[in-house]
Structure 1
Amino acid sequence: MPAGAVPAALGANWTGTGVEFALFSAHAEAVELCLFDEDAPAERARVPLERTGDTWHARLEGVGPGQLYGYRVHGPYEPLAGHRFNPNKLLLDPHARLLSGAIRWDDATYGFLPDAEEADLSFSESDSAPFMPRCVVVDPAFDWRGDAPPRRPWSETLIYEAHVRGLTRLHPGIPPELRGTYEALGHPAIVAHLQRLGVTAIELLPIHAFADDRFLVQRGLTNYWGYSSLGFFAPEARYLGPAGLPGLKEAVRVLHRAGIEVILDVVYNHTAELEETGPTLSFRGIDNAVYYKPAPGDPRRTFNCTGCGNSLDLSRPAVVRHVLDSLRLWVEEYHVDGFRFDLASTLARNPYDFDPECPFFAQLAADPVLGRVKLIAEPWDIGEGGYRLGGFPPGWGEWNDLFRDPVRRFWRGEEGQVPGLVRAIAGSREIFEPSGRGPCASVNYVASHDGYTLADLVAYERRHNWANGEENRDGHGHNHSWNCGVEGPTDDPAVRALRARQKRNLLATAMLAQGVPMLLMGDELSRSQGGNNNAYCQDNPTAWLDWERGAEEDPALPDFVAYLADIRRSHAALRRTGFLYGIPDPGTGLKDVHWLKPDGGEIAAGEWQDEHRRALGMVLGSDAPDGRMLFALLNSGDAAIRFAVPGLGAAGWAPLLDTGIPTGRPDAPERTCQAGGTFIVEPRSVILFRGIKQTG
């Protein structure tokens, strides 16, 4: 590149003989590149950058991978106008590919004097460099050896939500030096476990570089979940193993070879710099007025619809470009297959209200790289109008809390839950059809990282979050959970048996529903967090998966989950791309779904509001391309119910699944229920039959 030419990409890009440095700032007056030696508290050199438009840049020959650097940015310190430049603060490159070290919290990391009156209007002259991480120049080269993305259709997808460290930290089959690292994700023990379960995609909690918030460090805790981003281009360094960055790429390659996609949970809605009284670490000192959305009519304050102090302003082209560049890097350089967007409603606020035609959505859909990966929204934030389930564009999936909550409430035995349960099982047509999407837009789950684990969902009715240091005030207060009669651990065999059945009922409902099922890490091994439903700061055995204890707690549960996945994979009726309408076929008179009462009759329009209904039957698959029909019975009541066995195109029905059996496999699968007969469904059970075709 000729001297003075603008680099093609922002960040620090190694050319083979030197490094091109480039930084965006629209309002800066000068930018200095700071070069550091290992472990040095202060920079050994400052290099002034040249400005072309809003890009500040320089090319340094003889500099290469491993070079540590940061920036100092000069400009107006005018908080009332939204400008918070302070060259006394060492700033992280928003495009850095790797960070070295952690923040050592000190008042010097703030652009103002924290103890001053109207503190954020004051100006700090303390140098933050001794307390800041360093950016690292990296060589992105890697031999992918013919890697190709699995490109699983949504209809064939089973997601497993996991944490890099939590999944692998205690696995006895993984070498100690690899446990808790990216490399462990590709270890044969992890891959084999995922394959055994039938998982087709692993969704990783945030691996973008993130901060341990100051208030957590003061409590002796860490930001375990990682929802406090420092940079969107750098993998979190605490998960690096002996192989470094290539270890993450190798893990992706190995998972792909096993047919498993990799989805990243990404946090583009806010950063670790918090509100206007937060630290100056990167974006705030580079161009606060561009990167952060100001409060309406008050540039001094940050608009906070995330609950985390600030909101990135994706109504601005430069910020949209930044996020798209980050997403593209993860697809092109790390070969990831998709993204789950945390508090995704924030990304579509244009400028303050949710706009389904916002610039970010439009450019994302049109991007030739990003337009072909999986996109999943957490379809809400905490701001006004932020709950937007069903409001995302075609091609997106969405976490569906209107699946989670009715299913939980039905199985805990609440009355009046059948209508919501049926809507959820049928793919939430009322929610997703208006946007032109099918049932695969619904990501169905009963447990996720945010809340109780599956085991705790059936063992606790009250949160037990004292270890978080917030006097048990944090976390959800309404979880629709049921402890089955005893709060927490118990040796009572009846309670333990009921909990085992309830876990299977919840899992079966998620796996037999239309849409895309998602499992939480360790639910197949009865992982418990001791009733902590907000373990975001518990980087310890509370949140790690104890593989050995899990295997002892309910040894047949992994086989049950694997069997559910096999049933789903084997029956096209469970993996529809179009909604169920319940309209009779003109030729056969059969419907794509029949909702049945215990007497065998269909539930009529006026009967859905029966508050006391706790059981129903479902027949589907008469129109399935593989001709395989299914008959499901669900009973959340305390008493057994006798169901009339329907015909509806089948000569009879053979048992396929029983949640009262540890493995789910019926003891006598050859036993057939003849049409016109009856079948007794035990309390709190799911029974599934396969249809036997009529002959003649």
Structure 2
Amino acid sequence: MSSLTILGGHAAPLGATFDGEGVNFAVFSQHARRITLCLFSPDGRAETHRIDLPERDGDVWHGYVPGLRPGQLYGLRADGPYAPHEGHRFNYNKLLLDPYAKRLTRHLDWHDSLMGYKVGHDAVDLSFDKRDSARYMPRCVVEDVLFAWGRDKPPHTPTSQSVIYEAHVKGLTQLHPEVQHKGKFLGLASEPILDHLVKLGVTAIELLPAQAFLNDRFLVEKGLVNYWGYQTLGFFAPDPRYLAHDQIAEFQHMVARLHSAGIEVIMDVVYNHTGEGSELGPTLSFRGLDNRSYYRLADDPRYYINDTGTGNTLNIDHPMVLRMVLDSLRYWVEVMHVDGFRFDLCTTLGRTPTGFDRGASFFDAIRQDPVLTRVKLIAEPWDIGPGGYRVGGFPPPFLEWNDKFRDGIRRFWRGDAGHVPVLADRITGSALQFDHSGRPATASVNFVTAHDGFTLTDVVSYSQKHNEANGEGNRDGHNDNASANLGVEGPSSDEKILEARARRRRNLVATVMFSQGTPMILAGDELGNSQMGNNNAYCQDNEIGWIDWSACDPDFLKFVQRLIAFRREHPILRQKRFLHSRERILDGMEDLFWWRPDGTPMRDLDWSAPEIKALCAEMRIASGTPAYAQREEALFLIFNRGEAVSVKLPDCPPGRRWRLWIDTGHPEIEGEVIDGPLLRASHESTLALELEAYSD
């Protein structure tokens, strides 16, 4: 190895930072005795230098190497005690990833030498493996993160106007016939995808994990991969599989292109755990750098607290781990220009030694951060730990995935008894969960499908999950899907079954778009995409997990476009303030009226009456809302899950009339004036009428 000069450098920023003349390296480890920088040849095969970082400020080890340039490949080694019962798992023989690395060269190749212990040894993880793991590890890459953003301007779409589109980078693009860079960030930034999103009318794309993640060994051994990406290894690096030319600028280009189309980019991020797994997992980064600091450990520190179900839980209570998370979030906002985050298993991020705390350090840190308070923050409000289900329990400005909406709406349209009041709660913003602490109605992210579960087509085509392709004997995935096959399990050529399925799909999406809150749809649902009954396609990087553009249902796509446009054009459906019925008036002005089909107000006993299968809601602009629409404007919504029924419309003031814009039973209707007080709602249908002014 040729000699290199290493100077003291600086303790900040953490990671590898190029300053034009050289590279500063800074790494946190509270318990290490030594941190070594390993440099590699351009092809990554030869380890050319090992240099101990010469300085330590507090718990940050650092050094500066003059002359190094962007593109330099590197890794780390950490020396310290290997004492699992004390929480320490240092093994200098293992090459480690820099937690702040901006790019990784590839994915690791599974080999027993990646473990800090001897696989198969009687003492299991208490043994010590002396083999060097470098051959099987990816390399970190020094990056110059500057990008010519030009006139890039984040859309800053108000939450009240947002429609979120949850998508997988590869799943969305792999089978599109006109996309050149299939399965890549550049493919997502292509004209065909942008054109589709703009015509659909969505305002934000929420990407499944795109930070560098791990392919689990048990999946690789079965010929599968981690498709969804919920096993993060690099919180600053885009996953290599989505880069066409190994340049982080490809992600930045994608964001700029989406912004130019008026579409925000929200990242699904996993800060609750890492891909290193339990004490039987590999030593790849955090475990080898400082296991006791990075992870929450049990009373016997040999073992990990597993509130996430993945084998470990990140120790957000540690100030340097919290700093890493916040630095990562700010990096994606300031350097990569993303517009928000969806936090996987967000309850875990608020866990303290005494349980979940909405005032935990993670939430308090974000709420005071001048960068992060400018972007959208969405919580997945549960984990598998004790008391982990926390829907409605997060502090502002967080929005939350509302699975109560998903389950309640599916069950209403399936015909389950007792779900008329559930429907009423959900379409008015789930006020019981969210109407507190000054939170707006938009805090509820309303959806009936997401990546985790059935697609919309499968919700109406399968009564049972069909996950055999996952290789787990169909034991994985949710068993209770609130779905129905409407006559036959899976694909059908029966016209009556197909029509019933199409009608129910229209009803489900219409209910999402007509509800107070923030709507989210799953990519491919608007096309009629199916996963063949697989409700847990986390490992299906194939036709099961990819969207089949060739099977597009053009009529349904057009109908979804109309629904999104209707929501956009009617502020009544997207208010920040919660609506009040007569029982919840705050200022003497009603803006929500519940009607029976016969035109009489819903009574207390009606809410539990089994014969009531149609609910009518008259909505107006919430009192106190800025006057961006006339006070007398109203929408009349009909949700009929039963047989056809005649509905008496509310009386019209002089110079006003009802116009029918949406009818899921007759999707061809668009803008029909209703003459007379009665309207026929066909069986299992959703209707939306607007009260409009007219002159003779």
- Calculate the TM-score normalised by the size of structure 1: 0.96
Cα shift at 1:687:
1.2
Task: State how far apart, in whole Å, the 1-side matches of 2:18 and 2:582 are.
Answer: 61
Deviations 1:362-394 (A, max 9, x none): 111111111111000000000001111111111
User: For 2:187, which of 178, 184, 199 is the aligned residue?
Assistant: 184
Q: Distance in 2 between matches of 1:212 and 1:445?
A: 29
Distance 2:652 2:481 in 1: 38
Distance 2:324 2:255 in 1: 24
Which of 156, 160, 177 is the aligned partner of 1:155?
160
1:96 aligns with 2:96: no
Which of 334, 349, 352 is residue 351 of structure 2 equivalent to?
Answer: 349
How far the C-alpha of 1:66 sits from its partner, in A, is 1.1
1:15-44 alpha-carbon deviations (Å, 9 max, x no partner): 111111110000000011011114454512
Specify whether residues 587 and 446 from structure 1 end up closer, same or farther in structure 2 by C-alpha distance, changes over 3 A only: closer
Q: How far off is 1:5 after superposition?
A: 3.8
SS in 1 for 2:289: helix
Matches within 5 A, 1:292-441: 292-295=295-298, 297-351=299-353, 353-441=355-443
1:218 aligned to 211, 221, 231, which one?
A: 221
Matched, 1:136 2:141: yes
User: CA 1:2 to 1:47, structure 2 compared with 1: closer, same or farther past 3 Å?
Assistant: closer
Read off the aligned partner of 2:690 and give its amino acid letter.
R
Question: What residue in structure 2 maps to residue 290 of structure 1?
Answer: 293
User: Is 1:687 aligned to residue 691 of structure 2?
Assistant: no
Q: Aligned pair 1:77/2:109, yes or no?
A: no
1:539 to 532, 538, 541: 541
How far did 1:648 drift?
Answer: 6.0
Q: Which amino acid aligns with 2:646?
A: R
Paired residue for 1:620? 619
Conservation of the 8 A alpha-carbon contact between 2:571 and 2:629:
yes
| Structure 1 spans left out of the alignment, 5+ residues | none
Structure 1 counterpart of 2:596, which letter? K
Aligned to 2:506: 504
SS at 1:35 equivalent: strand
- TM-aligned CA deviation for residue 273 of structure 1: 0.5
| Deviation of the 1:629 alpha carbon | 1.4
For residues 302 and 387 of structure 1, what CA distance do their matches in structure 2 show? 21
Specify the SS of the correspondent of 2:255: helix
Question: Following the alignment from structure 1 to structure 2, what is the Cα–Cα distance between the partners of residues 670 and 389?
Answer: 40
1:237 equivalenced with 2:236 (yes/no):
no
Is the partner of 2:37 in helix, strand or coil? Answer: strand
Aligned alpha-carbon RMSD (Å): 1.9
Deviation at 1:464, TM superposition (A): 0.5
Q: Residue 26 in 1 paired to residue 30 in 2?
A: yes
Does 2:266 match 1:267?
Answer: no
Count how many residue pairs are aligned between Structure 1 and Structure 2: 684
**1:450 CA displacement:** 0.3
Superposition pairs of residues 24-63 of structure 1, within 5 angstroms: 24-50=28-54, 51-63=56-68
Question: How far did residue 146 of structure 1 move?
Answer: 1.9
One-letter amino acid of the structure 2 residue matched with residue 330 of structure 1: W
Secondary structure at the counterpart of residue 433 of structure 2? helix
Question: Unaligned stretches of 5+ in structure 2?
Answer: none
Please name the residue that 1:593 is paired with.
Answer: 592
CA 587–475 in structure 1, closer or farther in 2 if over 3 Å, else same: closer
User: What is residue 581 of structure 2 aligned with on the other side?
Assistant: 582
Does residue 279 of structure 2 align to residue 276 of structure 1?
Answer: yes
Moved more, 37-46 or 121-130: 37-46
| Aligned equivalent of 1:10 | 14
AA at the equivalent of 2:669: P
Give 3-state SS (helix, strand or coil) of 1:233's partner. strand
Contact kept, 8 Å, 2:240 with 2:246, in 1: the verdict is no
- Secondary structure in structure 2 of the residue aligned to 1:329: helix
Distance 2:87 2:409 in 1: 46
Residue 491 to residue 585, structure 1, CA distance change in 2 (3 Å): closer
Paired with 1:530 and 1:648, the residues of 2 have a C-alpha distance of 48
For 2:339 and 2:303, the matched residues in 1 are separated by 37
C-alpha distance in structure 2 between counterparts of 1:593 and 1:124, whole Å: 67
| Pairwise CA distance, 1:612 | 3.7
Q: Give the structure 2 partner of residue 165 of structure 1.
A: 170
Q: 1:573 Cα shift?
A: 0.5
Task: State the Cα deviation string for residues 402-457 of structure 1 (Å, max 9, x = none).
Answer: 11111000001111101111100000111011232011000000000000000100
Q: Secondary structure at the match of 2:410?
A: helix
Equivalent position amino acid for 2:689 in 1: F
Q: Please give the per-residue CA displacement for 1:337-369, whole angstroms capped at 9, x wherever unaligned.
A: 000000000001113510111111111111111
3-state DSSP class of the match of 1:203? Answer: strand
Contact 1:415 1:612 in 2 (8 A): no
2-side partners of 1:665 and 1:221: how far apart?
44
Aligned AA (1:48): D
Aligned residues of 1:42 and 1:129 also touching (Cα < 8 A): no
Output the amino acid matched with 2:142. V
The letter for the 2-side match of 1:248 is F
Does the 8 Å contact 2:316/2:322 carry over to 1?
yes
Aligned-pair CA distance for 1:58: 1.1
1:448-463 → structure 2 map (5 Å cutoff)? 448-463=450-465
* Aligned residue number for residue 115 of structure 1: 120
Q: How many Å separate the matches in 1 of 2:390 and 2:219?
A: 31
> 1: CA distance between counterparts of 2:113 and 2:584?
72
Cα distance in 2 for partners of 1:285, 1:585 equals 57
Question: Structure 1 residues 348-357 or 402-411, which shifts more?
Answer: 348-357
* Structure 1 contact 590–622 (Cα < 8 Å) conserved: no
Could you tell me whether the CA contact under 8 Å between 2:635 and 2:688 is conserved in 1? Answer: yes
- Of 83, 86, 91, 1:86 maps to 91
Structure 1 distance, partners of 2:295, 2:587, is 60
1:228 & 1:588 partners in 2: Cα distance? 49
**Which deviates more from structure 2 when the two are superposed, residues 412-421 or residues 619-628?**
619-628
Does the residue aligned with 1:71 lie in a helix, a strand or coil? strand
CA-CA distance at 1:611 after TM superposition? 3.2
Counterpart CA distance in 2 for 1:353 and 1:367 is: 24
Cα deviation, residue 660, structure 1? 2.0
Deviation at 1:590, TM superposition (A): 6.7
CA distance in 1, matches of 2:167, 2:621: 36
Q: Structure 1 residues 524, 486: closer, same or farther in 2, change over 3 A?
A: same
Inter-partner Cα distance in structure 1 for 2:222 and 2:413: 38
- Please point out which of 519, 529, 548 is paired with 1:527: 529
Given that residues 616 and 637 in structure 2 are in contact (C-alpha distance below 8 angstroms), is that contact kept between their aligned partners in structure 1? Answer: yes
Q: Is the contact made by 2:652 and 2:658 (CA closer than 8 Å) also made in structure 1?
A: no
Q: Which moved more, 1:555-564 or 1:404-413?
A: 555-564
Letter in 1 for 2:294: Y
**What letter matches 2:174 in structure 1?**
R
What is the alpha-carbon distance in structure 2 between the residues aligned to residue 270 and residue 2 of structure 1?
34
CA contact (8 A) 1:161 1:204 kept: yes
